[in-house]
Amino acid sequence: MTDTGLLFVWGEVGPDASADEFNDWYDNEHGPLRLTVPGFKNAIRYKATDGQTPSWVALYDLDHPSVPSSEPYKALAGKASDREKALIPRLAVLNRAVYEKIFEQTKPGLSANAFPANYVLIVQVAVPSLSEDAFNKWYNEEHIPDIASHVPGWNRARRYKLVGQPVELTGKQDPSIKEGYNYLAIHDFDRADYATSPALVAAIHTPAAGKILQSVNGVDMRHFTIHKHIQKHE
C-alpha cells in the first residue's frame, strides 16, 4: 500500500471564535503550510452533516506514519503566525491523531477524479487487544465487501490503526472527543443518500456484526461532506 500514514484532525469552533475565522485560517494558512512538509500528500477538509460535534475533520494522507515525528513537521511550530497563536486557544477542539493504514479496498475502474470523495462515513471503534484479530477479519472480509456490494455510491474503504495517542492542541477537554478508539475506517461515497440507505443499516446488523460488535468497547459513526481540497501555495 502507498500513503500508509494518516494525520486526522478534529475541529470545533466553539463560542469564542467564528466559523469564518476558523475556516479562513485553516484553508489559507494552516493547511497549506503542512503541505510544505515532505511526506504530506494532500489535505482535505470535511464538514459534518449529522448535526454532531466535532463539526469539522481534516484528513492528510502521509507517505508514512512517522512523518509527523519528522524535524520538518516539528519545525512548523516555530513558524506559527500570531493569528494562529491567538486562535487555537479560543477553539473548542483541535485534536490531532496519527494512524497507520492497515487495509484498503477500492471500487474497480474508478477514474482519478473520484477522489477526494464528496461524502465520507467515518467510523471509530474501541477494540480490546483480545478481539483485534476477529474484528479485523470480519471488517475486511465481510463488512467492507457487504457495504461495497450493496450501499449506493460506495467508492472506497480505508482502515487505520492508531499510532501513539491523540493530542488536544487547545489544551482543553471536550466530551465530543472519544478516548480509547484505536481503529478508524473511512468510507468514500459519491452520493449523499448512502447515509439513509437500508443496505447500510443492514450491513451493521448482520448476525456476524452483532457478535463482533459485542466484543468491542465502543463504536462511533459520523457523516461528512467535503468542504475544501486544500492546495499548497506556490
Range 63-100 burial, b when 16+ CB lie within 10 A, else e: eebebbeeeebeeeeeeeeeebeebbeebbbbbbbbbb
Contact 147, 200 (CB under 8 A): yes
Report pLDDT digits (tens) over 44-69: 999 999 999 999 999 999 999 999 99
Q: Give all domains of the chain, ordered by start, each with its CATH number.
A: 5-230 (3.30.70.100)
For residue 143, what is its C-alpha cell? 463488512
φ and ψ of 58, to 5 deg: -115, 135
pTM reported for the whole predicted model: 0.96
Across residues 87-102, what is the average pLDDT?
A: 98
Q: What does the pLDDT read at residue 234? A: 64
The stretch 83-110 carries a mean pLDDT of: 97
pLDDT on residue 218:
97
Tell me the per-residue pLDDT of 152-199, one tens digit each, with 9 for 90 and over. Answer: 999 999 999 999 999 999 999 999 998 999 999 999 999 999 999 999
Q: What is the pLDDT of residues 97-156, one digit of tens each?
A: 999 999 999 999 998 788 999 999 999 999 999 999 999 999 999 999 999 999 999 999
